[in-house]
Structure 1
Amino acid sequence: MEGAALVISGDWTLRHYGSLNQLIRGLHGKSPSNPTLDLDCLGHIDTAGASLIAKLAGSTALVQALDSADLAEEQKALLDAVAAAVPEGQFQPPKINPVAGFLADVGQKVTSISRLTWQLSGFIGETLATLFYILPRPGRWRFTPFVAAVHDTGLNALPIVALLTFLVGAVVAFLGATVLEDFGATIYTVNLVAFSFLREFGVLLAAILLAGRTASSFTAQIGAMKVNEELDAIRTLGLNPVELLVVPRVLAMMLSLPVLTFIGMISGMVGGAVVCALVLDIPPSQFMAIVERDIALKHFLVGIGKAPVFAFLIAVIGCLEGFKVAGSAQSVGEHTTSSVVQSIFMVILLDSVAALFFMEMGW
């Protein structure tokens, strides 16, 4: 754009429609009211690009510029036809009411969440139906994938779960000692550590770690199989992908997470006991005596009982996102990220609901 002239150059085709449309929106309010078009530098053009030029400068200015433009006859004919079809008037971006735009965005998010919930519910139903179908039929059990999944989700994850819960237990003990010291009640640091890890931290930390470590792995594995058309080959052979790929992973997670939860509980309490011994002069024997005296068994049962539910949801979400991969490496990455986010969100949401329920029940 120079003075009162618009210089159109380069290729105006459907391939560049998005960037050109964005450029035209940026020129809104800056272009002259009656521009003179210079089309001599115009490269390739199609109907999409011609419509943008007509909307930018107006049909009248476009027709006038064609008389002196150094263009091929087919380009002039295309521009003339588009100018006759496009209404007169320069391009005006639609004005969007901010409130309406906000409500539209909220509606899209709600619709997307509803669609995800519907898909997850359907996939959970399909997984349960397949599981109940093969349980009374030992000949259809697949031990090798199950054992491999247990090794991957359980044994390989044990060191990081133990280390993380040990460190968090030490941190909780430090914080508890700092706060309770003002009240002369540092002895209750033992109760704080044991209560928090038996009910919440043990299962929550283990589930979040598996959501980030294992759900992403399930999504990437199944997504890569879909990209390579291995899922189509499985269906062609008359096999059920849910039975072959999903059920062994779900069962492995439901076995591994309770074990990791128990390890996390013990490691967290050991971390708290170390801090109590080094900082508060509470020996391990006294620590264990307080735990045995004041912490009821129901707290352990509440924590360990949530583990299979969390494991089932994490595995199902990871497998579902793998089946939703669209066939490219970018799609694999997007759905892998989505599976981790959804798994962690569902774990925290269900843990919050369970905490409220158990509090109301007095458990």
Structure 2
Amino acid sequence: MARTQKNKATSYHLGQLKAKLAKLRRELLTPKGGGGATGEGFDVAKTGIARVGFIGFPSVGKSTLMSKLTGTFSEVAAYEFTTLTTVPGVIQYRGAQIQILDLPGIIEGAKDGKGRGKQVIAVARTCSLIFIVLDVLKSLQHKRIIEKELEGFGIRLNKEPPNIVFRRKDKGGINMTSTVPLTHLDLDTVKAILSEYRISSADVQIRCDATEDDLIDVIEGNRVYIPCVYVLNKIDSISIQELDILYKIPHCVPISANHEWNFDELLEKAWQYLSLLRIYTKPKGQVPDYSAPVVLKSSAGTVKDFCDAIHRSLIKDALVWGSSVKHNPQKVGLDHCLHDEDVVQIVKK
């Protein structure tokens, strides 16, 4: 691919090569069948409303950060690979219980199985948010290496799923439609990619300026889209001028885990990226209970989801106070979408 010139005449060939690479990567990552013992478990039981995983090279301060944030002991030492398995902890923030996972340090080639890398990245796939912990004294090339390892395992950081509808058919050939001008894809490239997957008939609707990689992600169907925050540790060792430069990196929070500097901004950013909602309850004739909110994910923030979170049999209309309604209180149905810090009172029919 590196030797092939990119132009219209070679787009079919390049599309096929990209699809071939994606298929080979999938085969590498899919564990082969077979009996025998499974070995020591690596993942831990999920608790709380969300899960945050720490990923980074050895000795960047992941265990120190974990111990200071959660109070959970995670062994800290001056040598590499101190943490050898997943260490879970829990933090209470704004009424939400958030699980924190301190994962062993990964190295280049982790996606190919080096240094238990496959197990580490497999746990990362189950997280709601990833903290990539970096040492500010070391090269930012480390950031690109970790991104490449996660990308190779089907994790897309800070990206939205491509707006492509792909539907296989029994006959009728390849039918491609687009609602926006396409600068990366054309019918020949789409046909080349689909032919590599032995798909001869399909409807492909493209509603964004997608690339070949976006189309392959949709066909593969096993990609996960996870928000990510870059945690730049050990800022106590650099100057104020260098710190100003670090703030220009997108999605980044500079901290010092050892001195507990800038933890407030880190937790605020985590809350923002997790997109959680706090919904307060109000018993009839009483003031709202602001001490114990019901925490929901914004993707599941309707009145029905709120009722399910309290008790599955509790499906009723509700009175809502807050920014999601036009007047306070307002009677709403089960499909009404709630906003952060709304107050809800369940109404019996």
Superposition TM-score tier, normalisation by shorter sequence: under 0.3
* TM value normalised by structure 1: 0.20
**Rg larger in structure:** 1
* TM value normalised by structure 2: 0.21
Kindly indicate which of the two structures has a greater share of residues assigned to strand.
2
| Structure with larger RCO (C-alpha < 8 A, sep 6+) | 1
Kindly indicate which of the two structures has a greater share of residues assigned to helix.
1
